[in-house]
Structure 1
Amino acid sequence: MSETDLKIHIYDKEIICPICNSKFNVKIVKVNSPRITSKDSDFFIRYRVINPYFYDVWVCNSCGYSAIKADFPKIKSHQKDIILNEITRKWRPHNFPENLTVPDAINRYKLALVNSMAINATNSSIAMIFLKLGWMFRLNEDIEKENLFLNQSLQYFLKSFSLENFPIYGMQRDSFSYLIGDLYRRTNKSEEALRWYSTVITTVGASVKVKELARTGKDIINKKY
């Protein structure tokens, strides 16, 4: 995509870093620009024209603080010192292009992961970064690395299921349970996947759409074996 075409689909937004108070611009994808082509069973959306996932991580080039945009302002006071001591002290500014690619997105999600691990972020926050890294490697058709990151995501989602209150990243308990089941299936743990799918299907009050997704997941496993 040319720079001229890119400017049709993104705009700059000035924000203030909650760590160092520096002002910097982030790229925001316009709401109507992405075109959905399909959706994968683990909620990954495939886009054409421009991919919003590439711009989902905000990076402060002054101090190195990096996080998914939904979590960027949610830093706690005691975590600021951790970032300054463990991230900023070693930070070297990164020169990312405006027109981000899959490798750029992977690097940005990895920066967010390092930050989230350093501040001991919530399990769901870490899980979401791992999940989106898995999705980026899916775009790269790197199955081995995709499965590696999906498995890490699964482990942290399991912890968050027990410890955190719903909704989590917009997901209610039924959607969250389904996602766990689907990640089990995608990482070749069929028995666990079937157990979580069945829980969703038999849950009173679970949405009809999510129950149908769980039934589809069960059918995939049953046909495989």
Structure 2
Amino acid sequence: MILIPMFDIIIILISGGDTDMLDNTFSTSDTSENKNQLYDEDKQKLMLYNKKITCPVCSTVFNARAIKKSSYRILKKDSDFFIRYSIINPYFYDVWVCNRCGYASIKNDFERLSDFDANIIRIEISPKWHSKNYPEVYNLNLAIQRYKLSLLNYDIIKARSSKKANNLIKLAWMFRLKEDKKSELEYLNYALENFKNAYYNENFPISGMDIFTTMYLIGELCRRTGKEEESLIWFGQVITAPTAPQKIKNMARDQKDLIKLNIKDTKSQDNLGDDLKDNKKQSIFSKFHK
């Protein structure tokens, strides 16, 4: 099942990922980044270097942009494991793309490609691919396009659900940075579906997570996508698991309390609304009794 709208898939392939299609070069300007003033392009250039990679599909040797160790700084961590950075964002460089054949994946998976899957990419991706002139420094919009291209590759080779889930949640996080709540929610739902498939059908660890961390994340994705009752079940299973680490139990307990508080507030608002309606009815009919 293709997880990207068909229009986006066509654009990704024929333009190399540039949805504007105005030229063959990506702009490094980004409104949301400039607004927060977290990313300085000149500083970022000093934190980056080229890493030579051999493409397992077409054998092309290309330079992948990589971040020097200890260059990035963590600002905060969200409850679904999204990490917010200052100065430079490692998520922007997490997808490697062969600009010759169009093969792309999360960098940890890039060289772990079977001959069978490589042949599928040669047939399904490469003939439609148009190369791009990528800039030295990547921005949020470019990162989103690269994650979409990676997701398309995973989908075409029918990669495991855990690999798709890892790509999908990172794509959702990019939309969170972009403050595009609709797209974030859409991809969080896709990520949830694939993490659940991986939980039931794959061996652990999944995306570097043990079973209890995965259960917590599924619960948190349920919470973020409005499935509060299901979320409470997943969190409850983590909290009551005898062998679950205390840290992940505490995280599950915090989120469970957050849901209960939200449910309580919602009920209070509903009751307040009912009271207001009753008062309004009384005021309307009271004049007939004067």
* Correspondent of 1:16 among 54, 57, 60: 54
1:16/1:194 CA distance change after superposition, 3 Å: same
Bigger shift: residues 5-14 or 175-184: 5-14
Deviation at 1:96, TM superposition (A): 2.0
Q: TM-score, length-normalised on structure 2?
A: 0.76
Deviation at 1:7, TM superposition (A): 2.8
Matched, 1:197 2:238: no
Superposed counterparts of 1:104-143, under 5 Å: 104-143=142-181
Deviation at 1:163, TM superposition (A): 1.1
Displaced runs of 4 or more, over 6 A? none
- Partner of 2:52: helix, strand, or coil? strand
Matched, 1:102 2:133: no
Q: Deviations over 1:46-82 (max 9, x none)?
A: 0001000000000000100000001111111111110
| Match in the other structure for 2:44 | 6
Deviation at 1:3, TM superposition (A): 5.5
Superposed counterparts of 1:14-163, under 5 Å: 14-163=52-201
Larger Rg: 2
Write the distance in 2 (CA, Å) between the matches of 1:220 and 1:4: 41
Write the distance in 2 (CA, Å) between the matches of 1:9 and 1:201: 41
| Match in the other structure for 2:26 | none
* Correspondent of 1:182 among 220, 230, 240: 220
Identical columns (%)? 48
Which ranges in structure 2 are unaligned for 5 or more consecutive residues?
Answer: 1-38, 264-290
Higher relative contact order (CA 8 A, sep 6+): 2
Aligned-residue RMSD, C-alpha: 1.0
Which ranges in structure 1 are unaligned for 5 or more consecutive residues?
Answer: none
Kept in 1, the 8 Å contact 2:45–2:136? The answer is no
| Match in the other structure for 2:259 | 221
Write the distance in 2 (CA, Å) between the matches of 1:9 and 1:205: 41
| Match in the other structure for 2:14 | none
Write the distance in 2 (CA, Å) between the matches of 1:214 and 1:42: 11
Q: TM-score, length-normalised on structure 1?
A: 0.98
- Partner of 2:185: helix, strand, or coil? helix
Write the distance in 2 (CA, Å) between the matches of 1:31 and 1:160: 31
